Amino acid sequence: MTGFANTENRYRVEPGGTEYGFTVQASPTKAEDVDPTSGDVTGAWWALYIGTSGDVKVDMSGSGTVTFKNVPVGWLPISCTKVYRTGTDAADIIGMTG
């Protein structure tokens, strides 16, 4: 299987047959409304779905606070623990959990 690559399952075998970069990615099993209009919202999200574009200020799971500017409608593939009221003007946000 030298040179084999399977991007669907996210693993590869480099020349010589040594595996590297193996990851298992599970799909989220729960979704919850994240509405920061009345205050900061805390949780443990694997990703956010942005329904109305705008800025999104979050606490990242592995680091500090960051503001994503002009996030378009669609998936924001980040792991975060808080969405802030101040600094977030995107709307219709769904948090995906596991």
25-49 confidence digits (pLDDT tens): 567 789 999 999 999 999 999 999 9
d(CA 48, CA 58): 11
Please give the share of the chain, as a percent, with pLDDT higher than 70. Answer: 73
Model's pTM, two decimal places? 0.73
The answer, yes or no, to whether residue 11 has pLDDT greater than 50, is no
pLDDT on residue 80: 96
pLDDT mean across residues, the chain:
83
d(CA 17, CA 7): 16
d(CA 98, CA 96): 7
Check if the beta carbon of residue 47 is closer than 8 Å to that of residue 71: no
Vertex 50: Cα angle to 81 and 11 (nearest 5): 70
What is the band of 12 on the pLDDT scale with cuts at 50, 70, 90? very low
